[in-house]
Amino acid sequence: MNAALSMGAAPEALKSTSSLPALIIFWVISSVCCVEAYATSALQLNTARPSYSLDSHVEYIEDQSGQLDITTVREKPEKIWQKHPAPISSFGFTDSVYWFRINVEAAEPESWLLEIGSPLLDEISLYLFAGEALLQEISTGDSRPFAERPLQFREFVLPLRLPPAARATVYLRVKSSGSIQVPLKLWKESLFCEQDEMETAAIGLFFGATLALLLYNLLLFLRVYEPAYIYYVLYVLMFGLFVAALTGWGYKYLWPEAPDFQQYGLAIFIILGSTFVCRFMHFFLDLPKQAPRIGQLLNGVVFSLLLLLCLLPLLSYNIVVQLALMIVMVTALIALYAGIMLWQRGGVMARYFTLAWGTSLFAVLLAILEKFGVLPLWLWSAAVLPAGMVLELILLSLALGERIHIEKQRRVQAQQEIIELQMENQAELEQKVQLRTLELEEANTKLHLLAITDGLTGVFNLRYFMQRATHDINIARRYQHPIALIMLDIDHFKSVNDTYGHDVGDQVIRHVVDSCCRVNRETDIIGRLGGEEFGILMPETPAASAHAVAERLRSEIEAASIDHEGATITVTASLGVCTIDPTRPYLTIDQMRKVADTALYQAKQSGRNRVTVLAGNE
């Protein structure tokens, strides 16, 4: 009104005087009136009133470049300052810096506290002016260590020293990589402490209930060892840490010296909590059997969450939190759909799950839409998410307890059926066991025989021959009895293979073994030591007898023949004999082999088809 009257009076003033001072006075008055027309009236503070909600008195401007300082902001024209349409200033996720202005006037000097009810703001700068004088300047935010806060509260609480009976202007500069929500309230110091005590008691009850649910389900897991319970315990843990980070209690008590973790802790808890709840649903609803496609879809969600967690150091907090919240929203809808579908199929656990999940879905969607700035922020909405999710935790805990009861009944019924089945089939089972035992014994005997014999000839293989020979030599040594070893090698065996082929060579080897078996005694041990080389250990055999046996064996091999496609094949063998005199020190089987091998070599050098005897211990 004053501005309009002044503008209308301008022509009259010009007509009445042409002096320069009058013109200057006119424009000064007009400017003052215009400023008064744009200026916001100051909030009158009454000491009788304990607190003031400042949201209706706050003006703001958006600094998209982030380069404005307090001097530049104060010089901005009044018309660019605007009020937020919502009850509480909320701007969602943005890279802009926001400046807020509140004009206040205190009648008497008293200590006031400015509460900024959003604990996750990165940078906050406060400037208090009285006219052109800067009375206070405070810098804080959760990007700084908690100990640097002017007052040690979970939210940002800034002391104000307002001049008495004078207009003061509070400027706030707010910047954050997360969602920018700035609820403001002015408190008398004494009442604020009382209010904080009430909030502390309420949040204590909340964390106490969460801890009780966590321990209860942890004990259930230790009892039943089912994966669903441990994933639920981890989900409850992440949920508790998430609420602690969201409300500022985590930064105050758990990681006050870790501002870097404070920047990313909320995103970590959201990602891990969503991962654990997906795995919980996988086992709790038995998705691989009941809804395999939904199970595969949730596995893909888990993979996306873990990938996002790995990319956390490479991406900005703003992007990570928005992606995580979108994945959480998708996961919540998938879970609700799965619960309703399985409930319709008659699943008892699905009924509990759907009721529990439905209670939290509203709170989760409300919180996400508020963080994105789609819905306005209300004073009561901060309690909706914890309350809804606590109710969900309680219902899920009841469902897990009911699951134990159902599983217990199933186990009792199954045990009774097993007992009855065992009583009916005990005789048949015992018979099968006996039959199976005989089959296993026979199989073991065959396996043992295969392990100690040569596959082509059926005589002992080298390993077992050496074991038996060592045993018999030890017995001969103990009782001072003679013992002998024959090394036999088929003469010109390579020419047999080259002329007739390996199949005929195998027949020749079996022919030689048959000759040995006809000549040897029952106590003698025969083994195949190489391709066409054999060993015969003869206990209780002095040198003369060993020589006689070797000659008889050589003659047997020479006299026998093999018919192959009308042709008669005869072979001879060279034999080396190592004898042990019981009156002299005994040799080991390896030493006896060397002596017998030397004798065999001499037989070969002497023209083959002959026997050479050497005393092993002379």
Average pLDDT over residues 547-551: 92
Q: What is the distance, to the nearest Å, from the Cα of residue 412 to the centroid of all Cα atoms in its chain?
A: 35
Indicate whether 372 pLDDT > 90: no
Q: Which residues pair with 137 in a beta bridge?
A: 127
Q: What does the CA dihedral 379, 380, 381, 387 come to, rounded to 10 degrees?
A: 150
Listing from the earlier edge strand, what are the strands of the sheet with 611-615? 525-528, 533-539, 483-490, 573-580, 611-615
Q: Give pTM, 2 decimals.
A: 0.57
Alpha carbon separation from 484 to 470, 593, 616 (Å, rounded):
12, 10, 9
Average pLDDT over residues 88-115: 86
Indicate whether 8 pLDDT > 60: no
pLDDT value, residue 189? 79
Alpha carbon separation from 136 to 108, 130, 159, 406 (Å, rounded):
18, 10, 9, 65
Measured between alpha carbons, how far is 225 from 253 in angstroms, rounded to an integer? 32
pLDDT value, residue 362? 66
How many percent of the chain have pLDDT more than 90? 25
The helix/strand/coil state of 255 is coil
What is the band of 200 on the pLDDT scale with cuts at 50, 70, 90? confident
Name every residue whose Cβ is closer than 8 Å to that of residue 276 and which is 6 or more positions away in sequence: 231, 232, 234, 235, 238
String of DSSP letters for 560-595: --EEETTEEE---EEEEEEEE-TTS----HHHHHHH
pLDDT value, residue 70? 93
What is the band of 538 on the pLDDT scale with cuts at 50, 70, 90? very high
Measured between alpha carbons, how far is 117 from 336 in angstroms, rounded to an integer? 32
Indicate whether 61 pLDDT > 90: yes
What is the band of 223 on the pLDDT scale with cuts at 50, 70, 90? confident
Measured between alpha carbons, how far is 329 from 492 in angstroms, rounded to an integer? 86
The two three-digit tokens of residue 510, written as one number: 């079996």
Q: Are 171 and 97 in contact (CB under 8 A)?
A: no
Measured between alpha carbons, how far is 62 from 66 in angstroms, rounded to an integer? 9
Taking only Cα atoms into account, the Rg of the chain, rounded to an integer number of angstroms, comes to 49
pLDDT value, residue 371? 54
pLDDT tens by residue, 506-534:
888 998 998 888 888 888 999 998 888 99
The helix/strand/coil state of 62 is strand
Higher pLDDT: 106 or 359? It is: 106
Q: Any idea which of 27-41, 108-122, 171-185, 402-416 has the lowest mean pLDDT?
A: 27-41
What is the band of 387 on the pLDDT scale with cuts at 50, 70, 90? low
Strands 123-130 and 166-175 turn out to be antiparallel
* H helices present in 9-106, as ranges: 10-16, 20-38, 70-74
Q: Domain limits of the chain? A: 2-38, 43-193, 226-413, 462-615
Indicate whether 384 pLDDT > 70: no
| Burial class of residue 61 in the structure, from the number of CB atoms within 10 Å of its CB (0-12 exposed, 13-18 middle, 19+ buried) | middle
Indicate whether 33 pLDDT > 70: no
The two three-digit tokens of residue 271, written as one number: 């990602």
Indicate whether 1 pLDDT > 70: no
Indicate whether 321 pLDDT > 90: no
Indicate whether 430 pLDDT > 50: yes
**CATH architecture of residue range(s) 43-193:** Sandwich (2.60)
Q: What is the distance, to the nearest Å, from the Cα of residue 579 to the centroid of all Cα atoms in its chain?
A: 70
The helix/strand/coil state of 185 is strand
Name every residue whose Cβ is closer than 8 Å to that of residue 62 and which is 6 or more positions away in sequence: 91, 96, 97, 98
Indicate whether 38 pLDDT > 70: no
Measured between alpha carbons, how far is 553 from 537 in angstroms, rounded to an integer? 14
Average pLDDT over residues 54-81: 90
The two three-digit tokens of residue 502, written as one number: 């390996």
Measured between alpha carbons, how far is 25 from 357 in angstroms, rounded to an integer? 70
Higher pLDDT: 399 or 160? It is: 160
pLDDT value, residue 25? 40
What is the band of 547 on the pLDDT scale with cuts at 50, 70, 90? very high
Indicate whether 233 pLDDT > 60: yes
User: What value does the mean pLDDT of the chain take?
Assistant: 82
pLDDT value, residue 137? 94
Measured between alpha carbons, how far is 247 from 120 in angstroms, rounded to an integer? 8
The helix/strand/coil state of 424 is helix
Indicate whether 444 pLDDT > 90: no
The two three-digit tokens of residue 240, written as one number: 């508790």
Measured between alpha carbons, how far is 304 from 588 in angstroms, rounded to an integer? 69
Please determine, looking at this structure, whether the domain spanning 462-615 carries the CATH number 3.30.70.270: yes
H/E run at residue 180: strand 179-182
C-beta atoms surrounding 438 within 10 Å: 10
How many percent of the chain have pLDDT more than 70? 88
Q: Are 616 and 579 in contact (CB under 8 A)?
A: yes
| Burial class of residue 378 in the structure, from the number of CB atoms within 10 Å of its CB (0-12 exposed, 13-18 middle, 19+ buried) | middle
pLDDT value, residue 385? 64
